[in-house]
Every structure is written in C-alpha cells, then in structure tokens.
Structure 1
Amino acid sequence: MFYFLPLLLLFMTASPNTAIIITPNEHTFRVHQRAQWKILLPRDYANPFDPDEIAVDARFVGPDGRELVVPAFWFIPGRIESEPTTRVATDEQLRQASFTVRFVPPVPGAWSMMVKVRDTERTQRSAPIFFEVKPAPPGSRGFVRRSPKTSHYFQFHSGEPFFMIGPNLCWANERGIAQYDEWFEKLTSNGGNFARIWMSRPNQLFETKKLGVNRYDQDGCAFYDALFETAERHGVHCMLTFNNYRDLVDRDMWGPAEWPNIPHNAINGGPCTRPTDFINSEIGQKLYRNRLRYIVARWSAYTSVACWEFWNEQTFTNVDIPPAWTRDMARYLKSIDPHQHLVSTSFGANSQHEVWAMPEIDLAQEHQYFGEGVRDASAPISAMARSLWEKFDKPSLIAEFGIAGEGSDIKFDPDGIGTNMHNGMWASMMSGSAGVGAMWWWDNYIDPKNLWYQFYGISQFAKQIDWINQRFEPVTLAPIMSDRSQPEIFADLIIRSAGGWGKSHGKPIAVLPNGQTSLGLPQYIYGTEQPRYRTQTILNVGIPQPTKMVVRVGKVSDAAVLRVVIDGEPTKDFAFSGLPGAPGQTKVERHPEGKWQAEFHQDCELEVPAGKHVIELRNEGNDWLAIEAVTFRSARSSQYADLETYAMKNEASGDVIAWLHDSESNWFNDRAKKMPRTISGARLNLSVQSGKTYRIDWWDTWKGRVIESREITATGGGELQLEIPPVHRDIALRATRIGS
C-alpha cells in the first residue's frame, strides 16, 4: 500500500504533551500467546520506519529476572491484497497509526515492561508497566528450538519433539490467504506441520519501488500478519525466506527477473548501482539490517514462524555473498530477536560448508533436483542427508527436491501416484534429516493431483518416534536375503546414478551384493574446465564371476572423455562430442551460455575379471558428462532380495527404525505403466543387544498403520532374525527394546 501524503510524511496521532502512551490490546496474558501494545509518542517523524530517525524498543523483565528487548514497528492498518496498491491512506487509517510491540511471554508470573524511545535529539524512557502472565493453555507448545538433548533434531519450547513434515508453499495464487488457508487445512489434516514461505516474488511484497527503501508497504505487511495467523490456527510452522536469488538478477531461465524492480536499485531511486552493492556496500548492509529489524519487530512473536532463511539459492545471484556477510547478519538477527528463532540460508549448488559450520546457523540444508536420468529419489536424497549428518553437528534438511528443476513433476507422474515424493520423504527421514524432504511443485503437482495424503503415512510413523531422546544415527543394514528355497541365479547388478548438479561427496562408494550403495553414484562427472565441481568417482565392488561392465552415458556438454580405471590401471576411454553431427547423438541443443550439449544414452562396455575391484570413473575432457547407470552383467545373486534399506539405529538400546524399498517402485516404472510387484519370503538380520526382547512393528507406509506386530528375543550373538511381510512397493520397520 503506497500512501500519498504531503512531502511523503507519515504523521502520528499523539497528544501534544511529552508522555509516552502505552495501551495493551488485551488485558489477559498467557505463556506462548502473543501480546500486543500500542505506543503513541509526543511528536511526529518524517519516516517512522527508519530506526536512525526514531527507534522504539520495549524491555521486558520476567519473574526470574530475565530481560528481553523487543523492537517496536510502525503500524498503519493495511488491507490484505494479492498485489501492492497505490492507495491514499484514509483519515481513519492514519488515526490508528502507531508504534506497536508484539511479545510472547515464555514463563508465567509477574512481568514488567518499559519503553525506550531514541531519536536524533534525545532518549526517553517510559515508566514501567506491570502485568501478570498466566500459564500456557493446554496444548500450547511455544517456539521451535534446537534441542539441548540432541544436536540433530528440533523441539518446541514445551519440550516436545518437532519433526518437520510438509512441502514448499512459497507463494499462493490470486486467492492469497484463502488459498493458504485451504492448503494448510489439507496439509495438517494429513499430519503435516511445516511449510516454507517466501517474502519475494511471486509471493506478496512489503518492499516496493514505489515506496523506496526504508519504507514498508502496509498492505504487504498485513498479508503476512494474516498468513502467520492462519498458520498458527492450523498448527503449521514456517521457514520464512527473506529473499530469492532473482532479486539480484536481471534475467534468468524463467525470463525477466526482479533486480530492475527492487527499491534498492539506483534506477528506482535506491543507493545500489549494481547487485553486488546490495550485499557488499555499507549502505546496502545497513538497509538490510533495518529490514531485519522490522521483520523481527513485526513477525517474531508468531509461534508459526519456526525459522528465518536469508536466501533462496544465493549461489544463483551471481553475486559474491561471502560467509562473513551471512555470519554478521545472523549475529545481528539473533541479537535483536527476543524469541531466538532458528536461522538458515540456502545455496542451490556449491553450498559453503563454512556457513553450515557456523554456530550462528541452526539448520544446514540442501536442494536437490535429479533430472530425467535419475529414476528414483531414494538414493540421492539419502546420500545427501547422510552427508549433512556426518559433516555438521546440527539439524539438517532437504529443503527442496523434485525430479527436474525446470518444470512440474506432473510431466513425469501424469497419473499423480506420487512415488518419487513418497520415496524422497521416507529416504530423508531414515537418513538423519530433521524433517522429511520438502517437495517443490506444490501448486502445479501436489495440489492438483491431491497428493496431500502422502504426508499421512509418514506423519503417523514419525509421531511414534521420540526424536530428541532416542539418539538415532544413520546406519547401513546387512543386505536383505531372499527365499533360499529357490535355486540361485544371477541377474544384472545395476547401480543407477543418484546425484544432482554440483560437487559430489568424492568418497569411495561401497557396492553391496544386492546393488545398494553406501553413497550415491554421482550423475555428473566433470572435466578440466569445471575445477570447482571436479572430484573422484570410485566404486569398491566385488564381482562373483567374470563379467561385462556397462557405463551408460546419458548426456554430454561440449566434449568429454570417459576413462575407466580398474585397480589403478587405465583400462578404456570413450570419447563424446556435443558438437552437432558427432556420432551417437540422439538430440543436440545449444545451451544459453553458448556450449553445445548432446544426448547419447549410449552404453560403454568393457570386461571386468572376477574378484574385488576399485573402479574409478574419470572425465578427461573439458566440460561434463552425465551417467545414467553402471551395470555389471550377471553379477547379482538371487540370494539377495531386491529391497533397499535406509535405517537409523540407537546403538545403546539396539532400537532400529528402517524403510525397506523395492528398487523397482519408482516414477519411471509408474509412467511406463509397469505394475508394482510383491516381494515375499525376504528375511532381514538385525544386529541388536544379545538376549534382549524387541517389539517388531511392520508399517504400511502408504496408509500409516501397523500391519504386523510381534515380540522377538535376540540370539546369544545379538541378532534378530526377521521374516519380512510381503512387500508391495515398500514397508517400514520399528524395532523397540522391551524393558531396561
């Protein structure tokens, strides 16, 4: 809302004396419930949004002596609109303008409040106001926190675990708040509790070029007030993303971007002549801190806000955002936030591990899109989640995922089965994430295909787990054995690529006899012109008999040479060219950056002797090649069931939670109309505590219910020998020790 006022002045309606007038909105205060005070000052200010001109702060002192300082914000009643407007403020709206303080008391008892007002001439303090806070109402849980009991999970202020279950809901359609209300209802009725929300386009803005910098659109602010109130009503906890990378870009693959429209841009009267000035100039940083202050003042008192996120995919701003900037802004944000929300950011590619290691950052996260060459999300999601767990002693999340980043997953799943979404969520939960992988494509896939039910099964399982006390860690289980009454035969051992764009883990990949891997096989292998992404791709594999190894190359950029090195000896080279007319191409196109890229889907074959081998895949060309799969012909014994396992274990108790997945249950086979099979007669041996009795619950992951439960006592060698119920697509396991 852009108010046309004389000389762009915003006048306050205060009495002419020197008193600071403080009026509460309510007279009953409770723990975990938002309280609000209206503050009228004795004079007017040209720009009450500018804390250098006028800063109002409230100091609260609790019954235990704790002090919390809360910034106040300038408030004019706004009207919720789907787009910013250019509307003249009414007299009634101006009469209601004031500074406002929002605060959530964390403990009951006697509290006091004192207001400090600082302007360019002097500092004033009000007399203290005293009020009594009653205990929290039943079921109130407060804000989300990092758990003091475990470094990898979250909890509420009340002490209950908080395991994030939900998708991205970054913007709504033209229905705005009504659309969010509908989505939140669909999410929570299926057990969800989390959503990621943007404050950038295409969502509503509260900074506009019409208002300029250091002024905040009150219709846009009213939109977010209503959004977070709606989320609170439904029990949804949001990650609030301040900026999208497109805010600093003129144009990208999606078309015209936002840099020409933001108020900081010099063409709109702002102080920044280049996008880098937004980050690296003194005035750019000052304006960013001012914005953070307004965000904290206005929205930190909503318990539906779980996490602040500086950037969506800051890598793609094409601006150097140094780790020091993130550290300094996180420190400032925490210094002014009385409720100490979680703080994070995201990169999209080339994450800065230095940032994830910072104590100021509470959540490490990744985004992952695999492309059509990867048939299933399970392995890449698990590999990324486990990597975050191992590298950083803090909670982590796959905060975006999908099949392709260029368009809705509906084209890969036209029937709306949701298998990739399902698999990605279960794989992330069983690999150490603090929540399920957050699916992208909510408005053009999840909602139109009514895939909200996918949250139900996993939420019912997750709420049975005491995430903050169980001390679960990711583990690799022994391969699942098949029905041995059948004669042994050998089939192809297929390792499908499992990584997205960017630098891979670079660690040796152990290939189990059933074809499952300890880490994902990277999809992209980079050449000499991609040093920032280039790393080794090594397979440690045992081959029962002499065989052919087949590397299927899907796509190549510019020129690539696949070199296969076996046990340290270069064995064979395969050359590819992306230039038009090169042999073997099925499709060729020119990338916007100028390089030719071609699809091949070509098999590269070589002989491999029986035995254990260390096999390295290199790219001796200049750009990149994409691998679809590595196959060892007739190298997989039928003694191993075609079930992958993703598991977490409490080593102290022996408790295990696991997800067992038929590798043929994926979006690719769904699209091909291949009917899911049922795997029967499979057996799993679990290593637990010797002689202890465990309750074994088998779960239907799609319906969210236990389908079989029994008690089994471990052998003297500490092994549980489990017969797995028939598996149709996948099944989940919970093994819980009985007694102390």
Structure 2
Amino acid sequence: MRHRTISVRTLVGVLFFGGWLTSLHAAPAPVAIGPHPAQVGRYEKLELTLTPQRTYDNPFDPCEVAIDLMIECPSGKSVVLPAFFGQDYERRDFPGDGKTVAWHYPVGRGTWKARFAPTETGTFAVRARLQDHSGQSLSEAIRIECVPSQNRGFLRVGRRDPRFLEFTQGEPFFAIGQNLAFIGDGQYVNVPRAEAIFAELARNGANFVRIWTCCEDWAVAIEARKSAWTRSWNRQSPIMPLPDGEGRCVAIKGADGTSIEVSPSHRVALRPSTSYTLRGRFKTDGATGLHVQVGSHRWYAPAKASAWEAFEKEFTTGESEYWLGRTTIALSGDGAAWLAELSLRETAGSTELLWEADTNRPVRGFYNPLDCFMLDQIVQAAERNGIYLMLCVLTRDLYMGALSDPNSAAYDQAIADAKNFMRYAVARWAYSTSVAAWEYFNEIDPGKPTARFYEELARYLDEIDIYRHLRTTSTWHPSARDCRLAALDVAQSHHYLRPGQSDFKDEVGAILAKAAFLREHAPQKLALLSEFGLATDKWGLSDHMKQDAEGVHFHNALWASAFSGLSGTAMFWWWELLDQQNAYRHYRPLAAYLSDVSFAGLTAATATTSNARLRVLGYQGSDRAYLWLSHQDAAWWNLVVAGQQPQEIAAATLEIEGLAPGEYAVQWWDTRQGLCVETQRVRCEQGRLSAPLPAVHSDVACKIARL
C-alpha cells in the first residue's frame, strides 16, 4: 500500500472527523437550518441544527469555515451569533469503584449547531450564514416566537452599584460558593458526582461555582494535549518526528517484548457485541513485527520490509464489554519500531474513538470533543440547580510562554488562537444564563505584559458575545494592574492560610486584608477572593483542615467575606474534603440571612461595640444596616488546635452612627441556624443608634431597618 505524507490540518479531519475532506467549488455551498420549535422562553436555550452541504478539514478553524446566525430581533436590532461544530454522545451511568461513572459513546460524525437565548420577547427572524474560501451563503429565514419566562437573565455588573452583581432584570445577586475545579473520570468529582454536588449546593443555598475547563489531561480541558501515549507531567515521551517524513509518530525501542501502552486520558467507551477495527501503520528497524493486544484480543503484525507497513485487525466486543481494555503494542525481536496513524472505529462506522492517539493534533485550535460534551452536561446541571459558573477557560501553559513580548509574532498568534477559542466558547456555552463569567487564565504569571492580550480579547468579545458575559483572570501573586484594567470586569485574588504567614491563625483578618487590597485597586468593580483555604507551607491540603471537621474556619471565612466589601464569599479550594465533611450545611444560614438583602449603594458600617473583643463588619445606608460581629477569640486556631473556648461576651452594647432619626427594628440572627432569634425596637436619635447585644459565644449577625 502506498502512503503519502499528511498535513497536520488534514490529520485533524482524517482522525477525528471521520475523513471529512474539503472540495471547494466556485460557488458557496448552502446551509440549512433543521427542525425547530415554534417558540422559546425568554433567556432560555434555542438549539438549532445546521447542515452545510460541504464538509471541511478543520471545522474548528473560522478561517476555513465560519457559520453564524444572523438574527433580527423584535426591537429591530440585528445581532450575529457564532455557531459551532461538535460531537454528540450517548451517556449511560454505571456503578464504579465507590462512585457512579459515566459512559459516553459518540453518536454520528459530528454536527453543526447554534445555541441562542433570546433576550426580548416577540418574533425573531433567524438565518444561518456560511463563509468559506468560496464565498458566502445564507439559509432560508425561520421565525421564532419568544415568550416570557421565569428566568431572571444573565449576571451583570450592578447598574446601581458596580461593586455588586445583579441579573439582567435587576434583581441583586451575591455569589455564595466554592471551587469545583477538577472534574474528570479519574478525579474525585466526575460528571455524575458534580451533578449531585450541584444539587446539594443548591439545597443549602449556594449559587456560585468556579470550574476549570483547562486541566490538561487530568480533568476537563477544552483545549489541551490529551494523549494516549504520555501525560503532561511525564518527563519523557515516546512521541518523536517521523524518521522519514513530515509529522510525528510513536517510537518503541528496545529488546524483544519491549512494549508501549495505549492509554488515553479518557476511558474509551465501546458497545457490547459490536465489531471494531484497529488500524495503523508501522516501520521497523531490526524488530520483526509487532504484538498487539486489546483487552483479551491479541494478534501479530509482521514487518515485511524496512518500509512502512499497514496493519488492520477486526475484533468483536463481548456481551458486557463497555470499555476498551488494556491496549499494548510490543516489539517482536530486538530493535525499533515507529507507529503512526493508530485508529479505532466501529467496523461499520466512521467516527474515530481513539482520537487521543493522534500524534499530529495541534494543542491550540483543537477542542477536545468529549470534554466539550462533558462541559455541556456541567452547564446543564448548573441550570437545573440555579448555580452560576465562573469558567476558567484557557489552558495557561499553552499560552503563557507566548505572552512575553507584545510586539512579537508569538504574542499575535496567541491572541489569534485565544480569539478562536473564545468564539467556540461563546457559540457553545454563552447562551446559558448559568455561565456567569469567562476567566481567561488560572494563576498566570503576573509579571507578563498581558494587558494587550486582555484588551484585544475584550474588543473581540464585545463583537461576538451578544450576552456580554463578565471577563476576569487570575495571577499567582496579587496583581494590582489587573485589578485596575478596564478590560477585566472582575478583580480577583487567591489566598491560603499557611504556617509561618502572619494571618495563619486569623481567618477573618486574612479575609479583610485581601478584600482591602482588592478594594484599594478596584474600588468600583466586582471583586472576588476566588481561592481560599487552609494549606501547608508548600500549598498542599493541610491536616488542620481535616482536624477542623466542624468547619470553624469555613464558617468564619464565609461570613467575614460576605461583609468585607467583596462581591461574593471566599471560594474554598479543597472541594473533596468539603464534600466528605458535608460542609455545604454552612452555606444555608448565610444564604437565609442574605435572601432579602442587597448591599448595593451601601457603605462600610460605622459600628462599634462596648467590648473590644468583638469585631464588627458590615454595611449601612441612611435607613438600614447589615452587620456581622465575631468574637476575636473564636478564630479557628484557638478552637480547633489550641482547644481554647472563648469566654462568653455578655451585656455588650452595639452603637452605629449615620442613620436617619426614627424607630428601627434590630434583628439578631443565629449564624448556625440562619434564623432571627431576637428582635428589638430601638430609637435612633441625633444620628446614633444604640442596642444591647445578646450573649455572644462566637459570632452573631444583625439586621437593622427603619420602621
């Protein structure tokens, strides 16, 4: 069999898209919009299937093919929304080792789709526009009626107060939540477990979760190297340049029996009682052939010459065989072998199952199909449970090295690739009101000159993200520059309580210091402490957190951050231990307290108490105040490690200045139960209100409102 050298772009098509090859003609090919509902609710998803009459090498590349929706709104406004190419999967859940595992099997060869959430009621006219090298074409127009719904819309910077969030419809939103960053088959949290955690968070009043879609090969990563041959943390890789051509292959070198394992980061799903074909080509030097084993299926591929040889083997799965078994390829004889274009498909099908074996797939510009589908499911679970997501989208290490010189070609290419990525993200997930924010990077180097990168992405998103999702980023040390950058809507910081740090034993003080930094550099922006927790001096999970099974530091940090000036609670990192300790119960009291509260337009409270051991945090306006009072001796270290119970504070008095004269209701809240336990009627005279405190053992919250 004669073999030819295949380009990287063609390999993307051959190995993933089932051999879709472009055949460009003089006239542009039409695109059709599939069946659609007659109406959709406001802010709810309308999904349309688009069918171009032509196929493309790389449908992820908008320079090769771009499909958009051209939308005429009832108000007369026209908007353009990108569409996307993706692979659908069938999902089944099976019991695994102590947890449910999801089986995902591809359906078809991939489809073009558009997802649209109308933001106004009335009749929309929608066309699909296809642009490729041969020109442009438009579909016939369809009409969709948008009707009212209960959905409150997208999260936005508050119009009354830019320090806080609100929905499109104007209702206030305060972020209460945590990280659930790593979601993957090999992680503590997989998709079924994430769905269960979302439900538990919602049951306890939490509403905000930070998710990584940039985990490389250990969890969900939309754009990252996921290889059947190596892992991102391995120092050595068997992947090498082809010995006699363009591209890359896998090398096996050594004595007779030396083997390499085909080990994708995603378990490969198979159908029972189904015929499959494994194909590839190889070349040897000294070795006489290859021994191939797939689960219980074994065969030998002899080398006939020093030239490249093709091999192909068909096998049938058993009645209960749902996964690709252990797959190895071993040398027969001493020497070396080079393996290329390994492929696994149903014998009667064309969808590539072993796409991670492609050694020529680009790491930027290819969007991992199963990870994208998993993120679909995560977003849908968030929608079902009223959870809003900050998606950390770009894989930092694929871009950071290129962002050193803003005047370089590498920097320009990083911007171009990031724009393509964000186009795909907007097309696939921006419809969802549960997507609160795009976080470009997790903890990128704060010394990199990234301002131009963020500014160009912001301008691009202004064009394509018709819902105007929030934008943010994070750095591995606090970045005052990023806090001030107008292209970023949310200033954020990360902080851990670590031994040797001055704030290690005082979680409330640590929260206040980080909030003060963010508010100093972003006084009129959204601000989040988006990673927080107890850690070792080397950033690992602290045994103290395990010791603090009652979540003292967790409780105190949640309440302190809610009253610190931030736009949401401190977002804890150690989600596995939080889940095992059922820490979700700590969200419920705070959520109950905040259920009818808006901090918009309020200022830091001028409240004091008659006891110096009480620390007072909060907000006030002319006719109301919201306060949290904490016993300074009730810090986590004192209670959990030192075993020192704070002495009860009794007969103390609260004083607050700046309220308008009149009668006020003062409610005292139990922060463990989330209930008002005492209400006082107090008069404010000469700008000062004084109220007796109940006995304070650790902390208490207060609501003051003019009658």
Same fold (TM over 0.5): yes
SS of aligned partner of 1:283 = helix
Give the aligned partner of residue 488 of structure 1. Answer: none
Matched AA of 2:619: M
Matched AA of 1:335: E
Distance 1:321 1:274, change over 3 A: closer
Give the aligned partner of residue 201 of structure 2. Answer: 187
Q: Structure 2 CA distance, aligned partners of 1:142 and 1:447? A: 30
Give the aligned partner of residue 618 of structure 1. Answer: none
Task: Give the 5 Å matches for 1:222-621.
Answer: 222-243=373-394, 245=396, 280-315=410-445, 320-351=448-479, 353-373=480-500, 374-392=504-522, 393-404=524-535, 406-443=539-576, 445-468=577-600, 471-478=601-608, 480-481=609-610
Match 2:128 to one of 86, 94, 115: 115
Q: Structure 1 CA distance, aligned partners of 2:645 and 2:36? A: 60
Q: Structure 2 CA distance, aligned partners of 1:346 and 1:235? A: 25
Match 2:630 to one of 655, 661, 666: 661
Match 2:42 to one of 17, 31, 39: 31
Distance 1:278 1:287, change over 3 A: farther
CA RMSD in angstroms comes to 3.0
Matched AA of 1:736: A
Shift, 1:724, TM fit: 0.4
Matched AA of 2:108: Q
SS of aligned partner of 2:177 = coil
Shift, 1:133, TM fit: 1.1
1:684 aligns with 2:698: no
CA contact (8 A) 2:65 2:133 kept: yes
Matched AA of 1:421: F
Q: Structure 2 CA distance, aligned partners of 1:687 and 1:275? A: 52
| Bigger RCO (CA 8 Å, 6+ sep) | 2
Matched AA of 1:133: C
Write out per-residue CA displacement over residues 299-351 of structure 1, whole angstroms, 9 at most, x where no aligned residue.
111221100000111127xx724212122122222321111111111113140
Task: Give the 5 Å matches for 1:98-109.
Answer: 98-109=111-122
Q: Structure 2 CA distance, aligned partners of 1:179 and 1:144? A: 26
1:93 aligns with 2:75: no
Shift, 1:677, TM fit: 3.3
Question: Higher mean Cα deviation, 43-52 or 282-291?
Answer: 282-291
Give the aligned partner of residue 214 of structure 1. Answer: 365
Q: Structure 2 CA distance, aligned partners of 1:386 and 1:274? A: 30
1:10 aligns with 2:23: no
CA contact (8 A) 1:110 1:133 kept: yes
SS of aligned partner of 2:557 = helix
SS of aligned partner of 1:439 = coil
Matched AA of 2:591: S
Distance 1:183 1:335, change over 3 A: same
Shift, 1:20, TM fit: 2.1
Give the aligned partner of residue 199 of structure 1. Answer: 213
CA contact (8 A) 2:223 2:368 kept: yes
Shift, 1:75, TM fit: 2.1
Write out per-residue CA displacement over residues 435-479 of structure 1, whole angstroms, 9 at most, x where no aligned residue.
111111111x211111111111111111120234xx11223433x
Q: Structure 1 CA distance, aligned partners of 2:497 and 2:409? A: 30
Give the aligned partner of residue 667 of structure 2. Answer: 697
Distance 1:219 1:711, change over 3 A: same
CA contact (8 A) 2:37 2:144 kept: no
Matched AA of 2:477: A
CA contact (8 A) 1:278 1:284 kept: no
CA contact (8 A) 2:606 2:657 kept: no
CA contact (8 A) 2:437 2:469 kept: yes
Q: Structure 2 CA distance, aligned partners of 1:12 and 1:466? A: 55
Q: Structure 2 CA distance, aligned partners of 1:410 and 1:76? A: 43
Write out per-residue CA displacement over residues 190-224 of structure 1, whole angstroms, 9 at most, x where no aligned residue.
10000000012243123343432322221111100
CA contact (8 A) 1:24 1:36 kept: no
Shift, 1:358, TM fit: 3.0
Write out per-residue CA displacement over residues 366-409 of structure 1, whole angstroms, 9 at most, x where no aligned residue.
11123124212111211321342343211111111113261224
Distance 1:391 1:649, change over 3 A: farther
Matched AA of 2:519: W
Write out per-residue CA displacement over residues 71-126 of structure 1, whole angstroms, 9 at most, x where no aligned residue.
010122135699xxxx9997x612xx332110000111011112221111211122
Distance 1:2 1:43, change over 3 A: closer
CA contact (8 A) 2:31 2:129 kept: no
Distance 1:306 1:99, change over 3 A: same
CA contact (8 A) 1:377 1:420 kept: yes
Distance 1:361 1:273, change over 3 A: closer
Q: Structure 2 CA distance, aligned partners of 1:279 and 1:380? A: 42
Shift, 1:737, TM fit: 1.4
Distance 1:101 1:690, change over 3 A: closer
Shift, 1:434, TM fit: 1.0
Q: Structure 1 CA distance, aligned partners of 2:120 and 2:16? A: 45
CA contact (8 A) 2:38 2:143 kept: no
Matched AA of 2:544: K
Give the aligned partner of residue 713 of structure 1. Answer: 683
CA contact (8 A) 1:368 1:398 kept: yes
Matched AA of 1:477: A
Q: Structure 2 CA distance, aligned partners of 1:89 and 1:4? A: 19
CA contact (8 A) 1:167 1:195 kept: yes
1:732 aligns with 2:679: no
Task: Give the 5 Å matches for 1:49-88.
Answer: 49-78=60-89
CA contact (8 A) 1:356 1:363 kept: yes
CA contact (8 A) 2:223 2:395 kept: no
Q: Structure 1 CA distance, aligned partners of 2:409 and 2:526? A: 27
Shift, 1:174, TM fit: 5.4
CA contact (8 A) 1:473 1:648 kept: yes
Write out per-residue CA displacement over residues 542-571 of structure 1, whole angstroms, 9 at most, x where no aligned residue.
xxxxxxxxxxxxxxxxxxxxxxxxxxxxxx
SS of aligned partner of 1:678 = coil
Matched AA of 1:10: W
Q: Structure 2 CA distance, aligned partners of 1:18 and 1:287? A: 26
Matched AA of 1:178: P
- Sequence identity (%): 27
Write out per-residue CA displacement over residues 524-554 of structure 1, whole angstroms, 9 at most, x where no aligned residue.
xxxxxxxxxxxxxxxxxxxxxxxxxxxxxxx
Q: Structure 2 CA distance, aligned partners of 1:243 and 1:349? A: 18
Shift, 1:163, TM fit: 0.6
SS of aligned partner of 2:511 = helix
Matched AA of 1:462: L
Give the aligned partner of residue 619 of structure 2. Answer: 648
Distance 1:307 1:170, change over 3 A: same
- Tell me, which stretches of 5 or more residues in structure 2 are unaligned? 1-10, 94-102, 226-357
SS of aligned partner of 2:125 = strand
Distance 1:39 1:711, change over 3 A: same
Q: Structure 2 CA distance, aligned partners of 1:276 and 1:70? A: 29
Distance 1:671 1:279, change over 3 A: farther
